[in-house]
Chains A and B, each alone.
Chain A
Amino acid sequence: MSKRRSAALTEAQRVSLAQTLLRERLCHQKLPDRPVGLDSQYKHLLELLRRTAVHGESNSVLIVGPRGSGKTMLLGCVLRELMSLKEVQKNVLLVELNGLLQTDDKIALKEITRQLHLENVVGDKVFGSFAENLAFLLEALKKGDKSSSRPVLFVLDEFDLFAHHKNQTLLYNLLDVSQSAQTPVAVLGLTCRLDVLELLEKRVKSRFSHRQIHLFSSISFAQYVDVVRAQLSLPPDFPDPKFSEEWNHSVTKLCEEKSVEEILKRHFNASKDFRSLHSLLFLAVSRVSVSRSTLCEADLLEASRLISADSKANVLHGLSILELCLIIAMKHLNDTYDGEPFNFQMVHNEFKKFIQRKSHSIHKFEKPVVMKAFEHLLQLELVRPVDSGVCKVQREYQLMRLMLEHGQVMEALQRYPQCPTDVKQWALSAFG
């Protein structure tokens, strides 16, 4: 008994250890040892930053790529390698800004001053007005020179948001410093907008060096599967080699499975970015437990089902029969009048016709009840008013639109638990 118990405990520890490791990788976006498929970009960026750090050359560069394409990851890897150089370690100042946090130049300037530890910082507070801060910072940067002062790396995440600041003062000044013989700086922007240069003012644009590093992944499906395998495999330094060997073997086998390949293909077709892949794998990995300590096909199937489920179809499954009837009525109205907006009265009439024609008394509801059901649909935003202004019109006569696709309604109806046959027939019959 005690022997089995201790074995089970170690099993639990192993599984939890493996899960911690994978979770770190999948949802904490742990930096990989080397970015996959970005070798040339990695080299270019590293070389550029190395020259700023070592030679004191000022540079500016934009890293552009769709969301989830690994911009921050690339930069993180480059900075990690850069900081490991002996020459660089204590000679570089790093300032990190984010367009979502530093929403205007005032805040951004305080943050820069704070991160640079300039002299007008006392403790964690920055003193002086906005104008004084700017003057102080520019003066500080101007005093420095190429060979003797420490290079500053400015990292501007969500660069496009900085372009919306008033007059683009911050960008102008940072780029101007990078174009004049002052403290060496490197301005690194990260953005997902391809048209980011068009947002810049002419004089700001002229000062930008027009270096762009694009991160478009052109990986093939085979490479994608390799990435999946690598992401799920346990590293060689896992404490229990036997367990990790088993695990890795099962992962390799899993990736060769036909149905798994289909799921991955579907995800690959939808988007190539690794972030959505990570969320899929994370759902699969979190289903691993002590009783089933290896990843199996069913886990991935379930994860894929969860991820690709249509959100509105799920909402439809939770509606009452009456609400469903109203949706069908609206669908018929849409079909008859070719997508013209409708109001509650029309829906109610359509519904009444249905009841009179075929239904038994079970669907007979008073008008207020129907109205309540309609309002519930309104709250779920399955129907929306055409003009969202203040409603001067009575609620019955306000024009509405159905926010559902034809196919969505039909599919939901097929899957609806215990749907009465007459409702189904009504939905299928064209033109009410």
Chain B
Amino acid sequence: TPRHATPSIPSRSAPARKPGNVLEEARTRLHVSSIPESLPCREQEFQDIYNFVESKVIDGTGGCMYISGVPGTGKTATVHEVIRSLQQSAEQDEIPHFHFIEINGMKMTDPHQAYVQILQKLTDQKATPDHAAALLEKRFGAPAPKKETTVLLVDELDLLWTRKQNVMYNLFDWPTRRNARLVVLTIANTMDLPERIMINRVASRLGLTRMSFQPYTFKQLQQIITSRLNRLKAFEEDALQLVSRKVAALSGDARRCLDICRRATEICEHSGSQKNGSGLVGMSHVMEALDEMFSSSYIAAIRCASVQEQLFLRAVIAEFRRLGLEEATFQQVFVQHQALCRVEGLQPVSVSEGLAVCQRLGSCRLLLLEGSRLDLFLRIRLNVSQDDVLYALKAD
């Protein structure tokens, strides 16, 4: 890399257009990227993390915290908010100043890059991983007067796992040093990660300060959307409730909820030109969006398949019934296929054509196939349930 290159994306000639109408405005606010000033429904977690970090910063000690929860439950956003409000109070000299660094396990190519990134963010110098580790060791180990507390956020902790676990060990060991003044906040998805993948000395250093983020309930999801819309009238009440109930029942992922709402505004905008409704996003739009995003496409795929492909699927099921197994070779299915062709009054296909049909179904994963070198003896399994196939074939 050239020494003084500044990474940037070229800027555009004219600034982006601002949202024009209510629905566009709603869409901008509902985008996942527009994080609101205060996160609703996470007050308790916010308070806990705030107290933890604040006490460490004031005391000038160090410590670790482990935060877990399924994706889309507001872990990273909450921590960022905590840091933001702590930085505000630091500016007003209510608490001592501190340094905030963030690393993400997914955003580095190798666990040892963590050292490099931490060092670069602390002191703006570049080093190899080994060298960086040594420098950090010196920095956190040696006593130094007037040192600021450092708050280190480690996202996607599970990716920092190495065979010897020395990256994790170091991250959790530095805060225990007397002079380190380091607070480490770690985030991962699974609750039992410390027990599952960490060896004893790592897990014990991580300590027992843990917090888990529960998936959002439907009321919370509803509140999140309402607070984002911020008195902008774009949605019907019932529509919001339907979205939040559906998402809460499936995963409780706030991202999903926002994406669906955004899609619903789009659908509303397109249908709005034809029939003049209230201009709000209604039940029907939300239903359509939910359908689009959640429903499986296998059935539609089978319905739109060509005649021979449908016949082949029927032959597969017929052969499974005959064998009483969930697996058959191409040769066996092909015999059934030819019989079915005769029943349907179609010209029987040749083996090459039959194999082509089979491969086509395999490439879109309606069937699971072995390598095609096995030719007649490649084994076939269904990737969909038999009922789905029968339903899709019968419905028309």
Q: Report which A residues bind B (CB closer than 8 A).
A: 43, 47, 54-58, 64, 66-67, 87, 90-91, 93, 105, 116, 118-120, 122, 127-128, 130-132, 134-141, 143-144, 146-152, 167, 169, 172-173, 176, 179-184, 192-195, 202-203, 205-207, 209-212, 214, 216-218, 266, 268-272, 308-313, 381, 384, 401, 403-405, 407-408
| Other A-B pairs, 14, CB within 8 Å; known A67-B364, A87-B17, A194-B298 | A55-B24, A64-B297, A148-B15, A148-B16, A149-B8, A180-B33, A183-B9, A214-B297, A269-B307, A270-B357, A271-B309, A272-B305, A405-B334, A405-B376
Binary interface encoding of chain B residues 55-71 relative to chain A, with 1 for a CB under 8 A from any of its CBs, else 0? 00000000000000011
Residues in B whose Cβ lies below 8 Å from that of A309 = 350, 352
Residues in A whose Cβ lies below 8 Å from that of B334 = 405
Q: Determine if B156 is an interface residue (Cβ-Cβ < 8 Å).
A: yes
B8 touches A143 (CB 8 A): yes
B1-56, CB < 8 A from A: 1-2, 5-17, 19, 24, 27-28, 31-35
Q: Determine if B106 is an interface residue (Cβ-Cβ < 8 Å).
A: yes
CB distance from B297 to the nearest CB of A (A): 5
A167-B106, A308-B353 known; A203 and B189 CB under 8 Å? yes
B110 touches A131 (CB 8 A): yes
B156 touches A312 (CB 8 A): no
A271 touches B306 (CB 8 A): yes
CB distance from A302 to the nearest CB of B (A): 17
B365 contacts which of A172, A195, A401 (Cβ < 8 Å)? A195
CB distance from A263 to the nearest CB of B (A): 11
Q: Determine if B208 is an interface residue (Cβ-Cβ < 8 Å).
A: no
Residues in B whose Cβ lies below 8 Å from that of A218 = 303-304
CB distance from B33 to the nearest CB of A (A): 4
Chain A binder among B196-204, B219-227, B252-260? B252-260
CB distance from B232 to the nearest CB of A (A): 17
B363 touches A90 (CB 8 A): no
B1 contacts which of A128, A147, A183, A407 (Cβ < 8 Å)? A128
A119 touches B8 (CB 8 A): yes
A119 contacts which of B5, B11, B262 (Cβ < 8 Å)? B5
Q: Determine if B346 is an interface residue (Cβ-Cβ < 8 Å).
A: yes
A181-B34, A194-B297 known; A212 and B292 CB under 8 Å? yes
Question: Taking each of A55, A138, A404, which has the highest tally of chain B beta carbons within 10 Å of its own beta carbon?
Answer: A55
A200 to B306, alpha carbons, bound, how many Å?
29
Q: Top 7 closest A-B pairs, CB basis?
A: A206-B71, A216-B304, A140-B7, A310-B350, A56-B16, A119-B5, A128-B1
A269 contacts which of B2, B270, B306 (Cβ < 8 Å)? B306
Q: Determine if B300 is an interface residue (Cβ-Cβ < 8 Å).
A: yes
Q: Determine if B230 is an interface residue (Cβ-Cβ < 8 Å).
A: no
Q: Which residue of B lies closest to A89 (CB)?
A: B13
Q: Report which B residues bind A (CB closer than 8 A).
A: 1-2, 5-17, 19, 24, 27-28, 31-35, 70-72, 106-110, 113, 116-117, 156, 159, 189, 253, 255-256, 259, 262-263, 266, 270, 292-294, 297-298, 300-301, 303-309, 331, 334, 338, 346-347, 349-353, 356-357, 360, 363-366, 375-377, 383
CB distance from B286 to the nearest CB of A (A): 14
A87 touches B106 (CB 8 A): no
Question: Taking each of A93, A206, A381, A407, which has the highest tally of chain B beta carbons within 10 Å of its own beta carbon?
Answer: A206
B352 contacts which of A134, A193, A312, A401 (Cβ < 8 Å)? A312
A149-B10, A206-B253 known; A408 and B106 CB under 8 Å? no
A91 touches B17 (CB 8 A): no
CB distance from B159 to the nearest CB of A (A): 6
A172 to B334, alpha carbons, bound, how many Å?
42
Residue pairs across A and B with Cβ atoms less than 8 A apart, 10 shown, are: A55-B19, A66-B363, A91-B14, A148-B16, A150-B11, A179-B32, A181-B33, A206-B72, A211-B293, A404-B376
Residues in A whose Cβ lies below 8 Å from that of B8 = 119, 140, 143-144, 149
> How many A-B contacts are there with CB distance less than 8 Å?
221
A140 to B142, alpha carbons, bound, how many Å?
35
CB distance from A72 to the nearest CB of B (A): 15
A143 touches B7 (CB 8 A): yes
A54 touches B189 (CB 8 A): no
A138 to B71, alpha carbons, bound, how many Å?
21
A312 to B375, alpha carbons, bound, how many Å?
11
B16 touches A54 (CB 8 A): yes
A57-B27, A58-B31, A169-B106 known; A120 and B1 CB under 8 Å? yes
Residues in A whose Cβ lies below 8 Å from that of B292 = 211-212
Residues in B whose Cβ lies below 8 Å from that of A268 = 306-307
A271 touches B363 (CB 8 A): no
Question: Taking each of B33, B35, B338, which has the highest tally of chain A beta carbons within 10 Å of its own beta carbon?
Answer: B33
Residues in B whose Cβ lies below 8 Å from that of A192 = 363-364
A138 touches B107 (CB 8 A): yes
Q: Which residue of A lies closest to B105 (CB)?
A: A167
Residues in B whose Cβ lies below 8 Å from that of A206 = 71-72, 253, 255-256
Q: Which residue of A lies closest to B332 (CB)?
A: A339
B11 touches A310 (CB 8 A): no
B360 touches A150 (CB 8 A): no
A202 touches B70 (CB 8 A): yes
B331 touches A118 (CB 8 A): no
A405 touches B13 (CB 8 A): no
A151 to B383, alpha carbons, bound, how many Å?
38
A134-B109, A167-B159 known; A270 and B9 CB under 8 Å? no
Residues in A whose Cβ lies below 8 Å from that of B7 = 118-120, 136-137, 139-140, 143
Residues in A whose Cβ lies below 8 Å from that of B5 = 118-120, 136
A214 to B304, alpha carbons, bound, how many Å?
11
A120 touches B106 (CB 8 A): no
A405 contacts which of B35, B297, B351 (Cβ < 8 Å)? B351
CB distance from A36 to the nearest CB of B (A): 15
A103 to B16, alpha carbons, bound, how many Å?
35
A137 to B255, alpha carbons, bound, how many Å?
24
A269-B346, A272-B306 known; A202 and B189 CB under 8 Å? yes
CB distance from B80 to the nearest CB of A (A): 11
A67-B363, A140-B8 known; A169 and B263 CB under 8 Å? no
A140 touches B360 (CB 8 A): no
Q: Which residue of A lies closest to B344 (CB)?
A: A269
CB distance from A361 to the nearest CB of B (A): 35
Q: Which residue of B lies closest to A382 (CB)?
A: B375
A302 to B23, alpha carbons, bound, how many Å?
57
B293 touches A210 (CB 8 A): yes
Residues in A whose Cβ lies below 8 Å from that of B301 = 66, 194, 214, 216
A57-B27, A167-B106 known; A269 and B308 CB under 8 Å? yes
Residues in A whose Cβ lies below 8 Å from that of B303 = 216, 218
